[in-house]
């Protein structure tokens, strides 16, 4: 077990700032990417259910292109493509864009399913009352869809946090990158990776449990077991 010897752990705790810095970058990148993916998810989810054929095609193209190619390839594409187009941005912004667009495609599928779970009659009723399509979405459909979409969206957020570790592949300075470069210089891989594992677990496990609880609650209320007072 000398891969995990005590003095290696000691060295790790001496350098705790490096890991904290990485955690900060992971949190800010994942947070911004989550906002972007939610915005794209709502936008493309509405396009997917819109009455306009061109809107649906645009959504179809976006979702299938993003979902059928790897995130790693997309990130490398952005990373190398932007300089070709004379656009110079920091790697963490490349991460936010890449992660946001990737998870935005999955979010839009979640939003689509949420909107379609609401009875079609509600949209027609709202439209007949003089609501515009956007108003009907904003005041009638989306608030109801929120309950259906919260659990899968939380699962997407977990996936996004985990996938933000992709920054390590483009030297993005996130938690995974810091652990990787710290252990490359010290050679103490075991403690570094186990510590990072624990940190990701502390971030992801509570969210997964929360999603599971919401899911069970929604399932019960659908089957009529829970009487809301």
Partner 1 sequence: MIEELAALAQWHNLRFLWQGLAVTLQISVLTIISSFVLGTILGIMRYSGHWLLGRLAAVYVEGFRASPLILLILLFRFTTPLKPVNSGTLAMSLFTAAIVAEVVRGGLNSVDKGQWEAARSQGFSWVQILRYVVLPQALRKMIPPLVGQFITVVKDTSYVWVTGVEELTGKGVIILGQYGSAVQFFAIFGTIGLVYYLLCWGLQRFGLFQERRMSWLTM
Distances from the Cα of 136 to the Cα of 122, 141, 147, 190, angstroms: 9, 6, 17, 54
Residue nearer to partner 1 on the CB measure, 52 or 80:
80
Residue nearer to partner 1 on the CB measure, 64 or 129:
64
Q: Does 180 bind partner 1 (CB under 8 A)?
A: yes
Q: Does 139 bind partner 1 (CB under 8 A)?
A: no
Q: Does 81 bind partner 1 (CB under 8 A)?
A: yes
Q: Does 162 bind partner 1 (CB under 8 A)?
A: yes
Q: Beta-carbon neighbour count of residue 37 at 10 Å?
A: 25
Check: CB of residue 176 under 8 Å from CB of residue 22.
yes
DSSP symbol at 178: H
Residue nearer to partner 1 on the CB measure, 58 or 169:
169
Nearest in space to 160 (alpha carbons), one of 22, 31, 21, 24: 31
Helix (H, G, I), strand (E, B) or coil at 57: helix
**Options 44-52, 111-119, 125-133, 191-199: segment touching partner 1 (CB under 8 A):** 191-199
- Least Å distance, CB 75 to partner 1, is 9
Q: What is the C-alpha to C-alpha distance for residues 28 and 43, in angstroms, rounded to an integer?
A: 23
**Options 11-19, 116-124, 136-144, 164-172: segment touching partner 1 (CB under 8 A):** 164-172
Residue nearer to partner 1 on the CB measure, 12 or 196:
196
**Options 17-25, 79-87, 114-122, 217-225: segment touching partner 1 (CB under 8 A):** 79-87
Give one DSSP letter per residue of 61-118, joined into a string.
HHHHHHHTS-HHHHHHHHHHHHHHTT----HHHHHHHHHHHHHHHHHHHHHHHHHHHS
Residue nearer to partner 1 on the CB measure, 38 or 166:
166
Q: Does 9 bind partner 1 (CB under 8 A)?
A: no
Give the interface size with partner 1 as a residue count (CB under 8 A).
40
Phi, psi angle pair for 228, to nearest 5°: -80, 125
**Token pair belonging to 17:** 């700032």
DSSP symbol at 129: T
Footprint on this chain of partner 1 (rule: CB under 8 A) = 3, 64-65, 67-73, 76-77, 80-81, 84-85, 158, 162-166, 168-169, 176, 179-180, 183, 189-190, 193-194, 196-197, 200-201, 203-205, 208
């Amino acid at each position: 077990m000398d891969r995990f010897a005590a003095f290696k752990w000691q060295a790790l705790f001496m350098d705790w700032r490096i890991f904290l810095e990485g955690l900060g970058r992971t949190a800010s990148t994942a947070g911004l990417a989550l906002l972007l993916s939610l915005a794209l998810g709502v936008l493309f989810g509405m396009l997917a259910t819109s009455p306009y054929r061109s809107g649906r095609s645009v959504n179809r193209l976006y979702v299938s292109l993003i979902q059928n190619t790897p995130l790693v390839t997309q990130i490398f594409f952005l990373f190398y493509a932007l300089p070709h187009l004379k656009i110079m941005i920091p790697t963490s912004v490349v991460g936010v864009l890449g992660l946001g667009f990737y998870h935005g495609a999955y979010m839009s599928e979640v939003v689509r399913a949420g909107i379609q779970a609401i009875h079609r009659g509600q949209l027609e009723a709202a439209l007949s009352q003089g609501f515009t399509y956007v108003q009907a979405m904003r005041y009638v459909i989306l608030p109801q869809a929120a309950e259906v979409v919260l659990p899968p969206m939380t699962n997407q957020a977990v996936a996004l946090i985990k996938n933000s570790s992709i920054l390590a592949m483009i030297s993005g300075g996130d938690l995974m990158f810091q652990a990787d470069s710290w252990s490359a210089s010290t050679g103490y891989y075991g403690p570094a990776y186990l510590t990072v594992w624990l940190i990701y677990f502390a971030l992801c496990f509570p969210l997964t449990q929360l999603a599971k609880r919401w899911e069970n609650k929604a399932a019960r209320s659908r089957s009529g077991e829970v009487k809301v007072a």
